[in-house]
Amino acid sequence: MWIFGALGGLATTLVVGSKAIGKGKASGQGLLTETELCKGLPLIPIKKLVFGGHELRRGSLLQSAREIHEQTGTIPYPLLNALKADLDKTSKEIKAGTAINAGRSIQKLAERVPKKPLSMKSELARLQRDIKSFMQRNRLTRCVCVNLTSTEPQLKLTSTHQSAEALSKAIAGDKRSTLRPSTLYALAAAKLGLPFIHFTPSNAAFIPAVIEEFEAQAVPYMGCDGKTGETLVKSALAPMFKYRNLKVLTWQGYNILGDRDGVILADAENKRAKLESKDGLLSKILGYPLHTHVGIDYVPSLNDLKTAWDFIHFQGFLDYKMSLQFTWQGCDAILAAPIVLDMIRLAELAQRRGESGPMRHLSCFFKRPQGVDDHDLHRQWHLLTEYVKQARS
């Protein structure tokens, strides 16, 4: 697999976890693909996964894993010693990412970029070469690409983004304001005919022009914005109110988090993209407008341990008003890494089965799933179980 954002906390946890499971040093807890649900599916063994990627920051996977150990303790130190050789080998497969029109917050983190600025056309070609050479060196027949980069500022969509031809002309003319790094990453995967998973809320990856490229290459793809915490709970709880005819009047949420995600989301431009993704599903599930708000604040001391508090004001029989509150505390990378690994294995299976287009059966993992308008977690779950039954038979 090829990771865009290969040294981030999520990517590091994903690689460490995969290597640990593959060597029998950790269980598959948190992985759906290791449960009875997927028993009998011809999924690629975790120990056979090979990792590479693009990254903007300097460093290595071992350094990143040590930092995670010191900050949160989610990666045990004995595991780092046992996997040192594997992490060092994988680090050699990490190449310089792109920061073209990435926004000021991400630009500040860009340490590992080409010394001489490249045109967009040359940058896209470089990204493709990196992935192809990775596959050749490791004698790989298939590769799944996944975007785990930081949230970008929203891209203002114009006629340039509506067709592959128009976007190609903009790239050839080096009109850098017409895309974000995630556009180039998605295009690189599409043009190489590789499955692509867009785990971030950035709107620049699945623009119509890029979707056209994926469809032309008959490639499976899915996104966007992984559903791992507060929004996961929302998509499970909101249907309960709907099923019992309890009218939700207000759903107020407040999130605090640290780490680099917190730094990036402290920037108003980047935060806007995240809030749009987090705040949109309630009215779609419930079927009516309501007062809703999501707040996100950066708290440095939390590192990757985030907390969300939600207040739900609802109306029942005799129009009496009641409330429900919940607090969600979890480690972002620990919650996200297993579902990314699940999707990688299912995407590889989809490609092997000759499937193409949006992988709708993965919608339960996303806040804004491609090709799926139903945000009810329970109904999304049935899309996955039905797919598994069909694929198994």
Average confidence (pLDDT) over 214-238: 95
DSSP character string of 291-329: EEEEEEEE-GGGTTEEEEEEEEEEE-GGG-EEEEEEEEE
What mean pLDDT, rounded, does the chain reach?
A: 94
pTM comes to: 0.93
Q: How many whole angstroms separate alpha carbon 368 and alpha carbon 365?
A: 9
By the 10 Å C-beta count (0-12 exposed, 13-18 middle, 19+ buried), 70 is classed as exposed
DSSP letter, residue 4: E
- Lookup result for tokens 């290597």: 19
CA distances from residue 351 to 53, 123, 142, 144, 193 in whole angstroms, order as listed: 20, 26, 8, 9, 10
The terminus-to-terminus CA distance of the chain in angstroms comes to 27
Q: From CA 267, how far away is CA 104, in angstroms rounded? A: 9
* Pairing label, strands 321-331, 305-315: antiparallel
pLDDT band at 269 (very low <50, low <70, confident <90, very high): low
pLDDT at 277: 57
Dump pLDDT digits (tens) for 103-133.
888 888 888 888 788 999 999 999 999 999 9
Q: CATH number of 2-226+334-392: 3.30.70.270, 3.30.70.20, 3.40.50.720, 3.40.350.10?
A: 3.40.50.720
**Residues in the chain, overall count:** 393
Q: How far apart (Å, rounded) are the C-alpha atoms in residues 359 and 212?
A: 15
For tokens 């045990």, what's the residue? Answer: 76
- Angstrom distance (rounded) from CA 279 to CA 293: 7
A 10 A CB-CB count for 30 gives 16
* 2-226+334-392 and 230-331 in the same fold: no
Q: Which of 160, 217, 171 is nearest to 194 (CA)?
A: 217
230-331 fold: Dihydrodipicolinate Reductase; domain 2 (3.30.360)
Tell me the domain boundaries of the chain: 2-226+334-392, 230-331
Find the helix packing angle between 377-392 and 230-243, rounded to 10°.
100
Helix/strand/coil for 374: coil
DSSP H or E segment with residue 53? strand 52-55
Q: Is the pLDDT of residue 261 over 60?
A: yes
The pLDDT score that the predictor gives to residue 115 is 77
pLDDT digits 0-9 by tens, 9-33: 999 999 999 999 999 999 999 999 9
Taking 70 as the threshold, does the pLDDT of residue 189 lie above it? Answer: yes
Looking at the predicted structure, is the pLDDT value of residue 51 above 70? yes
Q: What is the DSSP letter of 96?
A: E
Mean pLDDT computed over 289-315: 92
Q: How far is it, in rounded angstroms, from Cα 109 to Cα 160? A: 28
**pLDDT value at residue 271:** 56
Cβ distance 31 to 341 under 8 Å? yes
Q: What confidence tens digit (pLDDT) does each residue in 334-363 have?
A: 999 999 999 999 999 999 999 999 999 999
Q: Inform me whether the pLDDT recorded for 142 exceeds 60.
A: yes
- CA angle, corner 361, sides to 356 and 363, nearest 5? 110
> 356 and 196 in contact (C-beta within 8 Å)?
no
